[in-house]
Amino acid sequence: MSILAQISQSPIKASPEVWIHKIGLLSRIVPEPEFIRETITLRKGLNIIWAEEPESAEAGGDIAGHSAGKTTLCRIIRYILGEKTFSNKANTHAVKKAFPNGYVAAELYVKGQLYAVLRPLGENRNSYVLKGGTMEQVIKDKGEVAYQENYPVKLGLAQLIDDFPTGTVVRTNEPIQWGHILAWCARDQEARFQNIHDWRSSRSESDWPSFRFPKSDPLFVMRVALGLFLPDELKSEESLAEISRQLANAESEFERAKREPEYWRDHLTDKLRKELIKYAPNRRTEIQEAPLQGEGLFPDLKRLTAKTAYELGEKQDTEEEQIKVIDTQAKDLLEQTVQIKSEIKQLQALFQVDTRAALELKKELNAHETAKKQIDEAKFLMCGYGHLLVGECAHVKNRQMLLSGKPMPNEVLSPEDLKAREAERKKVENQISGLDRVIKAKEFESDGLAKRREEIKTSIETRGRLLTDLQECLEDLITWSERASSPLKFEKLKHKAIEIEKLKLSITAKQVALNELIAEHDSNRDLLSLIFSASAKAVLPSSAYDGVVKFQDRELNFQITKKGTMSGEAMETLAVLLGDLSCLIYNSLSEKSHLPGIMIHDSPREADLGLRLYHSFIRFVAKLDQSFTEKTGCPFQYILTTTTPPPDTLKKSDAVRLQLDASKPGGLLFRTDLSFVGQESDLLSGQPQPLS
């Protein structure tokens, strides 16, 4: 009974969304196309690429087994479907060296639309896409230029993601790309079918778009592509992802906050040492080696800071006393200057001799009315010398008479009187000039005191700032040191730790609710489980075996059990193969599933799969192909490479699309031995490693 009959379902898709029809390998396209080998034609359904192994080492000559080019063909198919490379670096170099003008041409269908493509294998750079064209036409006319960045878009491959219920991996918010889907549908041979979520191996050097979380993210993408989400599940996933991101941010901030006390402790310790050394450079070694707080009487930063603060305070006190002394001296100077200026004013008022008066004296000493007037105005002032009114002073009256040029009553001025008058004027001038010099000296001394006062004041302010900085720095250092030794006493950390705990509880609650939601009955999951179970029973010889699909913790897990218990490594490999195949079958039956419908398994027999089990698996795929074809047409393209001969019933069938032979150059994929062109060596033989 066919599996379709067992599950009582009819396919709703008659053709895969993506499948390869023809592949041509060319050594050049100009002036005339030159094909390396005949065109490889593939079909919908089962496609076996069989690379025969020589029966003995002698039969194989210098060419080792597993070197016919089947893995290279798988990589070329991936290259046709948008991958950046068609082999690892060493084998790529070998192909480019052998075929510097080489190309691969292909015909493929994407959502029913025929495309012809031309991609370089040699030193050329550009790829070409011809919508609706044939392989021959694209070789001749080339079509539209496509670069690596837009090649999948021009083929409509990137747009397949548009049908998915979400375009991102909600946990990381990273976009789901065509490269992710291609990686699942065409697993690396180097990954050896270890589990359902390991699609690529670093040894393949395929440069595919990787995931941040290498297990949960691929499984999420598988569920998205298969449409295995309940209506509210994606919303819950997005909510959970948002809380998880908040938790990650909070934990990151917590770690930064944990480092903050240590940073500030070290920073402030360094700052305090530098400030202390700036004040006392002769104690540099002692300061650099001192701990924050030492034991006993040994010096530490606390004591050194206290000592420095005391010394700074003493110096400040001394300088403040100096300012008091300077202020007293300045006050005395000011009083003396005021007194001298007063004397000058009195002299100027009583005996002023201006330039004009001097000229008059020289012109026979004419009367100086201005000087007389000034003396008249000052006659009611107290004389500083005779302690009587200026106007009553006989000396002033006499001088007044001399200045006025008028003789005193009953007196006639003689030449001697004129000389005396001149001498008296000179004396007054000299006296005023002397007092001016005294004032300048006092002012100079006062300026010196003011300058010295400003210097001392600046010194006091500088010491004050240093003292304040030292005390604040020490206080901050003590605070941050306590926080560093007991982080949870740090308020910021306390709040962040509480926030983290709340987020963890929220995540746990969300996960429980989500798992309960997933545990609810869902017909799509039931259908996938039924397909996998039927597939396992069809392939395995004993009814004791069964296939189980599990969805715990929002993952997707395919397991083959024997009487309810887990089976061995070979069964794990078979579980991966049947899991992929079950997804292809499910895709043909579900409207919610949006797989491209192409699947490539490269040499699964080499992953510890026994011959009997392997043949049973291949026969199962062939029957599946036949069942679908009889109904609506096969809705998938399954490409299998193998060095193990297929079952006898299939050796001559239409399923074998290409037969390679590693024992002779003509049987190789490129019709020539490229093993000596490559640069990698076989680790066992020490010989150059051929393409596989």
pLDDT per residue as tens digits for the range 519-544: 766 888 899 999 999 999 999 988 88
Q: Same structural domain for residues 506 and 532?
A: no
Residue with tokens 């005949």: 38
Least confident window among 341-350, 411-420, 569-578: 411-420
Q: Same structural domain for residues 474 and 504?
A: no
* pLDDT, tens digit (0-9, with 9 covering 90-100), for 82-139: 999 999 999 999 999 999 999 999 999 999 999 999 999 999 999 999 999 999 999 9
pLDDT value for 364: 43
Q: Same structural domain for residues 12 and 107?
A: yes
Q: With a cut of 50, say whether residue 361 has pLDDT above it.
A: no
Spell out the long-range contacts of 132-139 with Cβ–Cβ below 8 A and sequence spacing 24 or more.
134/107, 135/22, 135/24, 135/39, 135/105, 135/106, 135/107, 138/105, 139/24, 139/26, 139/29, 139/33, 139/103, 139/105
Looking at the domain assignment, is residue 678 inside a domain?
A: no
Average pLDDT value over all residues in the chain = 86
Q: Same structural domain for residues 373 and 267?
A: no
pLDDT value for 452: 93
Looking at the domain assignment, is residue 309 inside a domain?
A: yes
pLDDT band of 353, cuts 50, 70, 90: very low
Looking at the domain assignment, is residue 28 inside a domain?
A: yes
pLDDT band of 588, cuts 50, 70, 90: very high
Q: With a cut of 60, say whether residue 691 has pLDDT above it.
A: no
Count of domains forming the chain? 3
pLDDT band of 378, cuts 50, 70, 90: low
pLDDT value for 680: 42
Hey, which of 61-75, 249-263, 356-370 has the most confident mean pLDDT? 249-263
CATH number of the structural domain spanning residue 590: 3.40.50
**DSSP single-letter state for residue 389:** B
Looking at the domain assignment, is residue 181 inside a domain?
A: yes
Q: Same structural domain for residues 480 and 491?
A: no
pLDDT value for 686: 32
Least confident window among 122-136, 289-303, 384-398, 644-658: 384-398
Q: Same structural domain for residues 267 and 358?
A: no
For residue 591, count other CB atoms closer than 10 A to its CB: 9
Q: Same structural domain for residues 248 and 219?
A: no
Q: What is the Cα–Cα distance from 607 to 604, expressed in whole angstroms? A: 5
Q: Same structural domain for residues 595 and 662?
A: yes
For residue 595, count other CB atoms closer than 10 A to its CB: 27
pLDDT value for 567: 67
pLDDT value for 230: 77
> Residue 204 half-sphere exposure, CB side, CA atoms within 13 Å?
26
Looking at the domain assignment, is residue 322 inside a domain?
A: yes
297 versus 32: which is more confidently predicted? 32
pLDDT value for 692: 47
Looking at the domain assignment, is residue 83 inside a domain?
A: yes
pLDDT value for 126: 93
pLDDT value for 398: 65
Q: With a cut of 90, say whether residue 10 has pLDDT above it.
A: no
Average pLDDT over residues 455-474: 91
Looking at the domain assignment, is residue 30 inside a domain?
A: yes
Q: Residue 111's closest CA among 43, 176, 163, 148?
A: 163
Q: Residue 553's closest CA among 596, 595, 518, 604?
A: 518
pLDDT value for 685: 29
Q: Residue 513's closest CA among 246, 230, 267, 280?
A: 230
**DSSP single-letter state for residue 639:** E
Q: With a cut of 50, say whether residue 244 has pLDDT above it.
A: yes
Is residue 676 classed as helix, strand or coil in its secondary structure? coil
- In the chain, % of residues over pLDDT 90: 55
Average pLDDT over residues 375-400: 64
Residues forming beta bridges with residue 46, ordered by sequence position: 638
Q: With a cut of 90, say whether residue 489 has pLDDT above it.
A: no
pLDDT value for 665: 86
pLDDT band of 229, cuts 50, 70, 90: confident
459 versus 232: which is more confidently predicted? 459
Q: Same structural domain for residues 548 and 494?
A: no
Q: What is the Cα–Cα distance from 93 to 87, expressed in whole angstroms? A: 9
Range of the domain at 402: 301-484
Q: Residue 349's closest CA among 375, 325, 318, 376?
A: 375
CA distances from 137 to 121, 134, 146, 220, 503 (A): 19, 5, 16, 41, 60
625 versus 407: which is more confidently predicted? 625
Q: Same structural domain for residues 180 and 311?
A: no
pLDDT value for 130: 98
Average pLDDT over residues 153-171: 93
pLDDT value for 373: 65
Helix or strand run (H / E) with residue 106:
strand 103-110
348 versus 45: which is more confidently predicted? 45
Q: With a cut of 80, say whether residue 228 has pLDDT above it.
A: yes
Q: With a cut of 50, say whether residue 65 has pLDDT above it.
A: no
Q: Same structural domain for residues 501 and 434?
A: no
**Torsional sign, CA 180, 181, 184, 187:** negative
Q: With a cut of 80, say whether residue 574 has pLDDT above it.
A: yes
Q: With a cut of 50, say whether residue 688 has pLDDT above it.
A: no
pLDDT value for 504: 95
> Do the beta carbons of residue 68 and residue 669 sit within 8 Å?
yes
Q: Same structural domain for residues 337 and 264?
A: no
Looking at the domain assignment, is residue 542 inside a domain?
A: yes
Q: Residue 3's closest CA among 463, 597, 582?
A: 582
Distance from the first to the final alpha carbon of the chain: 38
- The angle that helices 415-485 and 233-279 make with each other, rounded to 10 degrees, is 140
